[in-house]
């Protein structure tokens, strides 16, 4: 009998500890498991809230109470489960221990320019673990994001073309390219492969590296060397002009340290991988591979 009580109390303690750990995470990053077959939407949402220890808040007019949902999710984030249910048609906002749902507005189109929201997670292909500080970027628009502590990213891309090519880079992982053909909001889980140590060493011995990359890797004490994009991205990008107010606050955004510009105009400060022609800095201007 004592053994039974010990096992019971241990299970209860573990349960409370797990709930406590869950509540330390943002609501959207808490894990939940749910299985439903042709169950009404409000009921499914209630069960998700109970499983992850929070409550939903929404206007009943935006939820079809008669809609039936079938879902089988095991140990998935709340964000992933909701995106599977609503397919990107809802926005989520956390306030206290409430998750507020609002209807997403359609992507605006102006002068043939489509505004697309792309969000999701970057994970390790081998383990499934989410990867923080990974670089996700579009080379054409120079729109970029760095994944947070939970491996989540969000990009707002304005483009005229129907297709988008997202590059994903992370130090010690293989560069990955994701092609998106539908000009609409997207939720993605992107898996990237780690570089095995022996493969990396062989590549380092045989692959030639351009001078700019060598300079970039060798100046370890450089002020912005710890910037995730500088660490992750080996590509050298090119732009005609950069206009910068402060380092990483300008037309090249957080990709500044990966771009060689023909011309660079810096107001209070600027940062780039290099300049092939003229650089004007009213107060300061930094290039790690100036040409």
Domain carrying residue 250: 208-287
Residue 272: strand, helix, or coil: strand
- pLDDT band, residue 214 (cuts 50/70/90): very low
Of 166, 192, 218, which closes a domain? 192
Q: Domain tally for the chain?
A: 3
Are residue 178 and residue 213 in the same domain, yes or no?
no
Higher pLDDT, residue 134 or 277: 134
Helices (H), the chain: 2-24, 41-52, 78-86, 197-206, 211-218, 228-232
Check if the beta carbon of residue 254 is closer than 8 Å to that of residue 285. Answer: no
Name which of 95-99, 233-237, 263-267 the model is least confident about: 263-267
Of 149, 168, 192, which closes a domain? 192
pLDDT at 219 over 70: no
Sign of CA dihedral 50, 127, 122, 244: positive
Q: At what angle do helices 78-86 and 41-52 cross, to 10 degrees?
A: 170
Are residue 93 and residue 15 in the same domain, yes or no?
yes
Are residue 83 and residue 130 in the same domain, yes or no?
no
User: Does residue 203 belong to any structural domain of this protein?
Assistant: no
Residues 6+ apart with CB under 8 A from 59: 102
Name which of 17-31, 34-48, 144-158 the model is least confident about: 17-31
């Amino acid at each position: 009998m004592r053994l039974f009580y010990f096992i019971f109390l241990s299970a209860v303690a573990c349960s409370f500890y797990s709930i406590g750990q869950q509540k330390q995470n943002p609501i959207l990053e808490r894990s939940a498991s749910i299985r439903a077959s042709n169950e009404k939407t409000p009921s499914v949402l209630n069960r998700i809230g109970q499983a992850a220890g929070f409550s939903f808040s929404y206007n009943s007019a935006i939820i079809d109470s008669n809609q039936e949902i079938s879902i089988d999710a095991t140990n998935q984030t709340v964000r992933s489960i909701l995106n599977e249910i609503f397919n990107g048609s809802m926005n989520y906002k956390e306030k206290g221990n409430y998750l507020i749902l609002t209807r997403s507005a359609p992507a605006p189109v102006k002068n043939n320019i489509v505004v697309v929201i792309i969000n999701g997670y970057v994970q390790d292909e081998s383990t499934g673990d989410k990867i923080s500080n990974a670089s996700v970027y579009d080379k054409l628009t120079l729109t970029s994001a760095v994944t947070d502590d939970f491996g989540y990213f969000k990009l707002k891309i304005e483009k005229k073309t129907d297709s988008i090519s997202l590059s994903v880079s992370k130090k010690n992982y293989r560069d990955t390219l994701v092609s998106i053909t539908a000009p609409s909001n997207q939720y993605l889980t992107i898996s990237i492969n780690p570089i095995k140590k022996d493969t990396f060493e062989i590549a380092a011995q045989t692959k030639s590296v351009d001078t700019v990359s060598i300079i970039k890797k060798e100046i370890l004490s450089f002020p912005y060397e710890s910037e995730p994009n500088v660490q992750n991205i080996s590509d050298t990008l090119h732009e005609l002009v950069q206009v910068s107010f402060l380092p990483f606050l300008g037309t090249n955004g957080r990709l500044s340290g990966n771009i060689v510009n023909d011309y660079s105009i810096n107001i209070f400060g600027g940062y780039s991988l290099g300049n092939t022609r003229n650089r004007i800095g009213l107060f300061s201007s930094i290039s790690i591979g100036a040409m």
